[in-house]
């Protein structure tokens, strides 16, 4: 059997351990640099940031994955695409530091997110918050775990009972035009909110049942690949904002406990603009 086939059939043993090692190594770098007053550079705007910690953590992850999987494609937020780029190969989607705004403001809510994806289908994923030493892991067909303890999504079945995570676009105009209306509708329906500032952690918390659901309009594949697998494997539902199957065309993402997903989608798709 080919190596690729082996890896796809046994991600728990052939992919996940290295993903964990990469995330733990990157986490150690971030923990060392946390609250050390690193300068933040802006990317697309004043709320889209990058620091030396993002870059250094990413280097560790790339080294760790490339040395073990030279035939795989690495897609990393700060470095772009490395490796063969062959659509048949496993693609690693890497966000070395998801929640840079929190990191810069000394708020310890951020994570490394690493996922192995084959033809759009996640095979394994890791989300690691080094400050809380919280290691979320998942592999296709297997359990979702937090530090070895199995997780399940919440049983909440009504939006009026829900605690939801939200993500906000970096672009202020999109925040006003496209988020204010949906937040207002969901709030009127009775839900309450958290804006944690890390899409990867939001999804991990949905998988763990700490949050009942999460939605965000704008995201990149490395923000969500590991978390999507976690939510699905923990029994939750992930889709575009209008409830259609999740696509790459930036139609937003909603992840929720199964009893809640449809009601949330109905509220979110009542018109995305105000
Ligand atoms: C951001 C965080 C944030 C989300 C943004 C992401 P970064 O990632 O996940 O919660 O709202 O869409 O870009 O820039 O901290 O890696
Ligand atoms: Ca991110
Ligand atoms: Ca990032």
Look at 40-49, 149-158, 226-235 and tell me which has the smallest mean pLDDT.
Answer: 40-49
> Is 273's pLDDT higher than 70?
no
- Say if residues 177 and 51 touch (Cβ distance below 8 Å): no
Q: Quickly state the pLDDT bin for 85 (edges 50, 70, 90).
A: confident
Question: How confident is the model at residue 22, as a pLDDT?
Answer: 98
> Where would I find the beta strands (DSSP E) of 162-234?
163-166, 192-194, 213-216
Q: If pLDDT is split at 50, 70 and 90, which confidence band does 2 have?
A: confident
The stretch 104-113 carries a mean pLDDT of: 97
Pocket test for ligand 1, best of 97, 219, 228 (most atoms within 8 A of CB): 219
pLDDT for res 1: 53
Contact 191, 160 (CB under 8 A): yes
- How far apart are the CA of 96 and the centre of ligand 3, in A? 6
Mean pLDDT of the chain: 93
Mean pLDDT of 139-146: 98
d(CA 95, ligand 3 centre) in Å = 5
193 phi and psi, to 5 degrees?
Answer: -130, 160
Which is higher by pLDDT, 252 or 171? 252
Measured on CA atoms in the order 50, 52, 54, 59, is the torsion positive or negative? Answer: positive
Instruction: Report pTM.
Output: 0.95
**Using 50, 70 and 90 to split pLDDT, how confident is the model at 249?**
confident
How does pLDDT run across 189-208, given as a tens digit for each residue?
999 999 999 999 999 999 99
Return the pLDDT at 31.
Answer: 96
Contacts of 234 (CB under 8 A, 6+ apart): 138, 144, 151, 152, 153, 206, 207, 208, 209
User: Looking at residue 274, what is its pLDDT?
Assistant: 46
User: Could you give the percent of the chain with pLDDT greater than 70?
Assistant: 98
CB neighbours of residue 267 within 10 Å: 19
Phi-psi domain of 271 (left: phi exceeds 0; alpha: psi -120 through 50; beta: other): left
Q: Report whether 25 contacts 58 (CB < 8 A).
A: no
Residue nearest to atom 13 of ligand 1 (CA): 219
Q: Which protein residues touch ligand 1 with a CB less than 6 Å away?
A: 95, 98-101, 167-168, 197-199, 216, 218-219, 223
pLDDT at 177: 83
CA atoms within 13 A on the CB side of 171: 9
Q: What is the model's pLDDT at position 230?
A: 98
203-248, pLDDT tens digit by residue?
A: 999 999 999 999 999 999 999 999 999 999 999 999 999 999 999 7
R_g of the chain computed on alpha carbons? 18
How does pLDDT run across 115-136, given as a tens digit for each residue?
Answer: 999 999 999 999 999 999 999 9
Nearest CA to ligand 1 atom 15: 99
Give the pLDDT of residue 42: 85
The predicted pLDDT at position 271 comes to 65
Ligand 1 atom 8: residue of nearest CA = 98
Contact 260, 158 (CB under 8 A): yes
Can you tell me which residue has the tokens 């890390």? 198
Binning pLDDT at 50, 70 and 90, where does residue 185 land?
very high
Q: Which token pair is 96?
A: 């070395």
| Buried/exposed 92-129: b ≥16 CB within 10 Å, e otherwise | bbbbbbbbbbbbbeeeebbbbbbbbbbeeebbbbbbbb
Calculate how far, in angstroms, residue 10's C-alpha sits from the geometric centre of ligand 1: 31
- Three-class DSSP category at 129: strand
State yes or no: pLDDT of 40 exceeds 90.
no
């Amino acid at each position: 059997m080919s190596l690729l086939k082996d890896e796809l059939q046994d991600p728990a043993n052939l992919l996940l351990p290295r993903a964990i090692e990469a995330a733990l190594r990157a986490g150690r770098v971030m923990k060392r640099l946390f609250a050390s007053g690193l300068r933040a550079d802006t990317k697309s705007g004043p709320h889209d940031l990058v620091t030396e910690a993002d870059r250094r953590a990413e280097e560790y992850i790339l080294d760790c994955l490339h040395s073990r999987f030279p035939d795989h494609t690495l897609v990393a937020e700060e470095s772009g695409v490395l490796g063969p780029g062959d659509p048949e190969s496993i693609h690693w989607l890497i966000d070395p530091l998801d929640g840079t705004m929190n990191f810069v403001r000394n708020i310890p809510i951020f994570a490394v997110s690493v996922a192995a994806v084959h033809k759009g289908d996640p095979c394994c994923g890791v989300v690691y918050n080094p400050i809380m030493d919280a290691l979320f892991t998942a592999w296709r067909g297997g359990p979702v775990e937090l530090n070895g303890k199995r997780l399940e999504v919440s049983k909440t079945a009504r939006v009026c009972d829900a605690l939801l995570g939200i993500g906000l676009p970096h672009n202020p105009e999109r925040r006003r035009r496209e988020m204010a209306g949906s937040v207002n509708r969901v709030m009127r329906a009775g839900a309450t909110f958290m804006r944690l500032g890390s899409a990867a952690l939001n999804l991990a918390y949905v998988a763990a049942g700490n949050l009942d659901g999460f939605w965000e309009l704008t995201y990149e594949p490395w923000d969500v690949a590991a978390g999507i697998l976690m939510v699905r494997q923990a029994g939750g539902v992930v889709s575009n904002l209008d409830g259609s199957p999740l696509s790459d065309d930036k139609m937003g993402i909603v992840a929720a406990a199964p009893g809640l997903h449809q009601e949330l989608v109905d509220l979110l798709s009542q018109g995305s603009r105000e």
